[in-house]
Amino acid sequence: MQGHAPEKMPTVLALDVSLSMCRPLKGEASPEDYSRKNLAIHGLSSLLDQLSKLEFTSLIVFSYLWEQLVPFTRDVDAVKSALNTVGDYSKTCLEPFLSGISSLVVEEFGGTTPVQVILVTDGSTGVGTGSLKNMIDLWNQSSEGDSSVKCPLPFAFKGKLLIVCIANPSSPELKKSVPLYERLIELNGDGELFIPEGPLSMTSVQDMFTKIAEKYYAPYSGLLTCGHLKCNITLYPSPEPYTKENEFVSVHTTVSDKLEICGFMDLQDIASPPTVSRHLVLPVASKQKQNNTDITGEKGKDEEEEAEDGKQPSFTVLLHGSLKVEGMVAVTRVAENWFGILYSWADSKKKSSLMLSLFEPGADSVSWLGNLNFLAPIADFSEPPYGDDDNRTPFPVRPKEKRSYAQSCVVWIKSVGLQADLQKVIRHARKLPDKQQQFYKELNRVRKAALSFGFNELLEAMAAMLERECTMLPGTAHPDAALQLTHAATRLCSEMARDASQLIMPLKTNFSQDDG
């Protein structure tokens, strides 16, 4: 099985730097002499402190135009430094930013990587041309058939649009803006609007960003067990709840906080199974060290214990090394009737990591393994279940019924497919009588396909095609070639050709008997 890197969860921080963000808070039930931009920078800095070091983050500022100040990076300090240097520009206009962000993200990560877009603004949507209300009206017209204006939402990638308003909840301006922001989220298909709880202040804004971090960036904490062995772990990125609407039932499930290893399999048996997500498995210390320094400023015992963490035995290290050396995977139950596999993945020749890939929920998510609940070690059987040949691999498990896609069939979705099949018949026809067997085999194959599709006109067209080939035979051609082409064209025009149970057989001639 080939390894896969964990799915990245990049974040785009989009900060409004229009003039309205420079408005001070005086007179708004706040004693601090801060502007809305100061509060936004403080809130974003607190959010960056709570993000995982594995998160890719980019900083974008926008007003009437937009600019990427920091490309996607894991260097949180670089993003914080750029936040403290942003300037002030003209009026707010969201359309250029919303139109440009898709190409930026797709170029960096492609269209399948989930991305969080956190748009921080002050609730001012502008007036006149370029205002958010005017743009939404134009986008609504485009959805009704007017193609002159194209709506930039939804994004060209899988992403949530989180809109953060640095404004007082009781502000009349914000109350007018909320329906417009909710419409933006509706157009994107996924996202949420955040408003401070209470008057604007450093505390209320920080609490709002903490709420965002807890909801969308909370790390997964769980317990990995294998018999009597266990270890506290975290997964990056955190597994999201699985939701799928099937024909007769809806599937809604989440990963449990206890992951149980059920058994081990060879890499060649598991092959490359279909997965819904991939996650990096990292061990977590049993005791969290929040503070390593006491009130007097002296170093406490926690710092010494943290220095020895690398020397403590860890089950994940043992598991990772064993799977890597033995070339195996660990089949793991992550929830009721939901399985995945743990395996060693290497991004280079020198560095490897323990990874978890999640299957789709259900016991039959990997077709060639059968029901995962029925897997058992060979030691449980009194006799070898797969015979005495030790070199024989038990997988894949072949289904008893014969699948329709296992049959050789003709598919004409595009005209090029039909053209290729007819050209194959013509190639064999021009090499008669040497390719007589192949000619009639392809002729009957195309004829049966035409009958199954109800394409009876094709039979007459093929007959005309063969008659034309007969008239174009060179003088040096074998006499049997003309006889076979004429015979095939005649049979295609007969009633027998409409019976799919019968075959057009070669014409018996003196030439073919002499050759035999």
pLDDT score at 516 = 39
User: In the structure, what pLDDT confidence band is assigned to residue 383 with cuts at 50, 70 and 90?
Assistant: low
Q: What is the pLDDT of residues 110-143, one digit of tens each?
A: 887 888 999 999 888 877 777 888 888 888 777 6
Q: Are 93 and 126 in contact (CB under 8 A)?
A: yes
Together in a domain, 51 and 116:
yes
pLDDT score at 255 = 92
Of 193, 216, 239, which marks where a domain is finished?
Answer: 216
Q: Alpha-carbon distance 202 to 462, whole Å?
A: 81
Residue 125 lies in a domain: yes
**Mean predicted lDDT score pLDDT of the chain:** 83
Together in a domain, 181 and 245:
no
Top mean-pLDDT range of 155-164, 289-298, 378-387: 155-164
With a pLDDT cut of 90, the percent of the chain lying above it is: 36
Sequential DSSP letters for 126-164: -SSTTSHHHHHHHHHHHHTT-TTS----S-SSSEEEEEE
Flag whether pLDDT at 299 surpasses 80: no
Query: Which residue type does 337 have?
Result: N
Together in a domain, 204 and 233:
no
Q: What is the pLDDT of residues 430-483, one digit of tens each?
A: 998 899 999 999 999 999 999 988 888 999 999 999 999 999 988 888 889 999
CATH number at residue 108: 3.40.50.410
Place of tokens 């060209």: 156
Give me the number of domains the chain comprises: 3
Range of the domain at 493: 415-515
pLDDT score at 380 = 73
More confident residue, 299 or 17: 17
Residue 400 lies in a domain: no
User: In the structure, what pLDDT confidence band is assigned to residue 399 with cuts at 50, 70 and 90?
Assistant: low
Q: What is the pLDDT of residues 2-48, one digit of tens each?
A: 444 445 578 999 999 988 888 887 654 444 578 889 999 999 999 99
Together in a domain, 202 and 338:
no
For residues 335-353, average pLDDT: 86
Q: Alpha-carbon distance 118 to 112, whole Å?
A: 18
Q: Are 455 and 447 in contact (CB under 8 A)?
A: no
Do strands 57-62 and 66-73 pair parallel, antiparallel, or not at all (unpaired)?
antiparallel
| Range name among 6-10, 373-377, 392-396, 489-493 with the lowest pLDDT average | 392-396
| Model confidence, pTM | 0.63
The CB density around residue 232, as the number of other CB atoms within 10 Å, is 18
Flag whether pLDDT at 271 surpasses 90: no
Flag whether pLDDT at 514 surpasses 60: no
Do strands 277-283 and 229-236 pair parallel, antiparallel, or not at all (unpaired)?
antiparallel
Flag whether pLDDT at 402 surpasses 70: no
Together in a domain, 135 and 234:
no
With a pLDDT cut of 70, the percent of the chain lying above it is: 83
User: In the structure, what pLDDT confidence band is assigned to residue 297 with cuts at 50, 70 and 90?
Assistant: very low
CATH number at residue 324: 2.40.290
User: In the structure, what pLDDT confidence band is assigned to residue 51 with cuts at 50, 70 and 90?
Assistant: confident
